[in-house]
C-alpha cells in the first residue's frame, strides 16, 4: 500500500484523490511515521444507479395496501 505523509498530502490532495479513484488502490496517510488514515476508493453507487435498485424485490402475497385493516385485528376495539 502506498504511503503519503500528511504534509505532502496537504499539498497534493486532489492528485492523490484522483489516483485512488483511477487505480482503486488505497493510500495510507502518515503523521510522524504513524498511520492517521487510509484513503479507500468509493464503492457506492451514483444517485442515478441507486434509483430503482430495489424494484421487483418484494416477494409474497401483499394484499390490499390501501384498505384499512379490519377491526377484528385491533385488540383495543374488542369487547
What predicted TM-score, i.e. pTM, was given to this entire model?
A: 0.52
Residue 78 is assigned to a structural domain of this protein? no
Helix (H, G, I), strand (E, B) or coil at 52: coil
Residue 28 has pLDDT above 70, yes or no: yes
**What confidence tier does 46 reach under pLDDT thresholds 50, 70, 90?**
low
Show the CA angle centred on residue 42, arms to residues 41 and 48, nearest 5°: 150
Residue 60 is assigned to a structural domain of this protein? no
The closest of 55, 64, 7 to 32, measured between CA atoms, is 7
Phi, psi of 16 (to 5 degrees): -65, -45
Provide the domain count of the chain: 1
**What confidence tier does 38 reach under pLDDT thresholds 50, 70, 90?**
very high
Once rounded to an integer, what is the mean pLDDT over residues 51-64?
72
Residue 10 is assigned to a structural domain of this protein? yes
Domain extent, residue 9, equals: 1-43
Instruction: Provide the pLDDT for residue 42.
Output: 81
Amino acid at each position: 500500500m502506498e504511503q503519503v505523509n500528511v504534509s505532502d498530502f496537504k499539498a497534493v490532495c486532489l492528485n492523490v484523490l484522483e489516483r485512488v479513484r483511477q487505480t482503486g488502490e488505497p493510500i495510507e496517510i502518515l503523521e510522524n511515521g504513524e498511520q492517521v488514515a487510509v484513503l479507500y476508493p468509493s464503492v457506492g453507487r451514483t444517485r442515478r444507479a441507486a434509483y430503482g435498485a430495489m424494484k421487483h424485490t418484494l416477494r409474497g402475497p401483499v394484499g390490499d395496501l390501501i384498505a384499512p385493516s379490519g377491526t377484528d385485528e385491533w385488540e383495543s376495539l374488542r369487547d
